[in-house]
């Protein structure tokens, strides 16, 4: 039994995302013959040194090319310590369905001004045909 097809489950973990840098990072590629429905993401803080920390990172998630913001759009993530996580989802609104070959990505739109801020992102969801 493939749990990725039958139940919301962890489909990908990507570590080493620099929350200080404006960048787009691939998280999960939808396999051929399937569609992917994202359910939620966990942002885990794996390295953090506060520094001035006057600016919080702003990020979006999605599978729409160029902006990657059809799942979560321009969310401010307030981080204050390592070994903490933020769970985020859009359970009360229409969810995107990513099609075969599309890539679910994170787009850091505004970088944090912490001295160090590194994330790992866990993507949870399920596959459908």
pLDDT at 32: 95
Q: What CATH number was assigned to the domain covering residues 3-128?
A: 2.60.120
pTM: 0.90
pLDDT at 107: 97
Contact between 58 and 75 under an 8 Å Cβ cutoff? The reply is: yes
> Residue 18: is its pLDDT beyond 60?
yes
pLDDT at 31: 95
**What digits encode the pLDDT tens for the residues 61-118?**
999 988 999 989 999 888 877 877 778 777 667 778 999 999 999 999 999 999 999 9
**What digits encode the pLDDT tens for the residues 37-63?**
999 999 999 999 988 778 999 999 999
pLDDT band at 2 (very low <50, low <70, confident <90, very high): low
pLDDT at 3: 62
Token match 């993530």: residue?
77
Domain boundaries, the chain: 3-128
């Amino acid at each position: 039994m493939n749990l990725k097809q039958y139940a919301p489950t962890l489909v990908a973990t990507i570590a080493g995302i620099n929350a200080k840098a404006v960048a787009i990072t691939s998280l999960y590629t939808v396999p051929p013959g399937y569609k992917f429905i994202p359910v939620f993401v966990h942002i885990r803080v794996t390295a953090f040194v506060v520094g001035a920390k006057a600016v919080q990172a702003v990020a979006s998630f999605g599978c729409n090319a160029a902006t990657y913001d059809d799942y979560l759009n321009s969310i401010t993530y307030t981080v204050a310590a390592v070994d903490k996580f933020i769970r985020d989802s859009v359970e009360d609104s229409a969810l995107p369905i990513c099609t075969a070959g599309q890539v679910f990505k994170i787009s850091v739109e505004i970088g944090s001004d912490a001295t160090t801020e590194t994330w790992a992102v866990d993507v949870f969801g399920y596959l459908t045909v």
